[in-house]
Amino acid sequence: MPPRGGFGGPGGRFMTDEEKAAQPKITKKLLKRVFSYLLPYWKQFILVLICIAASSCFGLLPSVLTGFIIDEGILGKNLKMLIFYIVLSLVVTFLSSLIGVAESYINSWIAQHITFDMRNQMYSHLQKMSQRFFTSNNQGDIITRMTSDIDGVESVITNTFKSILSNSITLIVAIVAMFQKNWILALLGIAVIPLFALPTRKAGKTRWTLTREAQECNDEVNGILNETLSVSGQLLVKLFGKEKEEFDKYKSVNEKMVKLNIKERMAGRWFFMVLNTVTNIGPMLLYLVGGILVMKYDDSITVGDITVLVALLGKTYMPVNSLLNIQVDWMRSMALFNRIFDYFDMPVEIDNPKEPKVPKQFTGEVKFEHVDFSYDGERQILKDVSFHLKSGHSMAIVGPSGSGKSTIINLIPRLYDVNAGCVKFDGIDVREMDLSMLRSNVGVVSQETYLFNASIRENLLYANPSATEEEMIEACKKAHIYDFIKEQEKGLDTMVGNRGLKLSGGEKQRVSIARVLLKNPSLLIFDEATSALDSISENKIQEAIEPIIKERTSILIAHRLSTILAADIIYVVKDGEIVEMGQHQELVAAGGVYTELYNTQFKKIAE
């Protein structure tokens, strides 16, 4: 039987240069951590080990029984024994397969449970990560970590770990069995193993390099096709009269591809030719030396023994090959665990305090005391911001785009923590307050309204799962969205589409106002959309917002004069600093930043 597993396809048995460069250091700590995930399932794991050992032994038994079939059955001319050993051999093969099935089941069970644990651990860890993490990391990377990397762990357990165990056990049992039969022939058998193992590895490497080259070439072909056969690409080719040039380019890459493919196929052929011969050398040598031993030196060796030895030698090919190649899988697996652990080890930036404080009463009072803040530790976004919003009052924050208005409100529910100074909510530093309590008391209607792809009802219930139908209707009425909902065929059960795309910008914002009302926070923050809504939508939002802010402590990031005028006091922010504060009339008269904003922005929008 020719050895299998020597070839590496793309992503196969050899490491890429990048992988080699990024090889993880396999430390005791890393291994301990990897195996700590196995610990809760140690009983099942022992069962798997027993199954693997039993299945490997049973798998080898038929080879050993061949000896008895020949010696006692055929050569001994004993039909009864012949049939007995044949049936035994079949039964043993069946048993080995049966145990294999059980082992696969338990192994998959363990793998699934470990990945289940890891996924949950990762998800709850990610939920604790700050907004900074989500804004500075690529969303795709986060999802990959959650999905393919953790799925990879499953394959590590069901394939790599299993392969190491079963191949090692099979190899050891085969070698022990060979020595039991005859030590000279066993030694000879072991000596020929490198004869096939090493060329297999070498040929596999060559073929893998060729496959990779062919793949790169294929990418190049695809690139050309994508560029030149696209609508705009073709237009460009035609307008510049580059047909011939592009065709020549395509042809030459295509030619390269043909050569590489032939080379790759032939590398396989030569390899198999050599391999077939080499793999046959082992058995032939055993027959030769075995024959000489029987004829000249040791007549206790039987024909059956030699046959068993040859069969057992054949059984060592695959495990040796797999074990020789397992190093790459092992490194990849460790790199995978390392990547996952890197995520687990990321410190939780915004954590619940050890002894959280709770105010006597939540009223929504907010106090900023000399707050400095930077997103990246370099560029100062807020500088010495101080203000006091008394409970029941409302304030408007205005300022040019990018001046830091949203940043100010991000600090209240602790999406980020201040770098200096402090933010107090109902008299307590937000960093000392119970995080979930704080957040449940701050309601934000953001510029970018996010609705889940579900019904309006489900989106509303997200804020308060125990809200009754009446409460929902009441909130929708207050948010001036109920008339719209009533008109829909399915009413509250109307689906909002992916991210609420089936609703208009104004409708979405009013649904999100209703959602926040159901949450019933002590502080309401309304980040007014800068994007233009039509004046009807704007008026509806305005009508909704005005009575609401009269009822509770509110902060409005305002872009429209009508919103600004609804607030009790106006704060003007510029370059991260509060530069003015007061009432509309006095600020207009002051001739500062507000006057400029009024003349350039608010007045125009109001007109």
Phi, psi of 577, deg, nearest 5 = -125, 150
Tell me if residue 558 falls in helix, strand or coil. Answer: coil
What pairing do the DSSP bridges indicate for beta strands 394-398 and 380-389? unpaired
| Shortest spacing between CB 352 and ligand ATP, in angstroms | 22
| Shortest spacing between CB 246 and ligand ATP, in angstroms | 43
| Shortest spacing between CB 404 and ligand ATP, in angstroms | 4
Tokens encoding 316: 């060592």
CA dist list (Å): 309 to 65, 74, 286, 297, 512: 11, 18, 8, 18, 77
| Shortest spacing between CB 242 and ligand ATP, in angstroms | 42
CB 293 within 8 A of CB 301: yes
Contact residues for 434 (Cβ-Cβ < 8 A; gap 6+): 352, 353, 356, 357, 358
Q: Which is nearer to ligand ATP, 194 or 402 (CB)?
A: 402
| Shortest spacing between CB 377 and ligand ATP, in angstroms | 10
Q: Which is nearer to ligand ATP, 378 or 487 (CB)?
A: 378
Residue where the block lists tokens 């096709």: 225
CB 95 within 8 A of CB 59: no
Helix axes 183-228, 162-181, angle to 10 degrees: 150
Q: Which is nearer to ligand ATP, 96 or 403 (CB)?
A: 403
**CA gap 12, 10 in Å, rounded:** 5
Q: Which is nearer to ligand ATP, 463 or 557 (CB)?
A: 557
Tell me if residue 370 falls in helix, strand or coil. Answer: strand
Q: Which is nearer to ligand ATP, 300 or 401 (CB)?
A: 401
Q: Which is nearer to ligand ATP, 3 or 404 (CB)?
A: 404
User: Nearest to residue 20, comparing CAs of 331, 325, 326, 330?
Assistant: 331
| Shortest spacing between CB 576 and ligand ATP, in angstroms | 7
| Shortest spacing between CB 99 and ligand ATP, in angstroms | 56
Q: Which is nearer to ligand ATP, 345 or 376 (CB)?
A: 376
The site for ligand ATP (CB under 6 A) is made up of 135, 375-376, 381, 399, 401-407, 530
| Shortest spacing between CB 601 and ligand ATP, in angstroms | 11
**CA gap 459, 49 in Å, rounded:** 49
Q: Which is nearer to ligand ATP, 403 or 449 (CB)?
A: 403
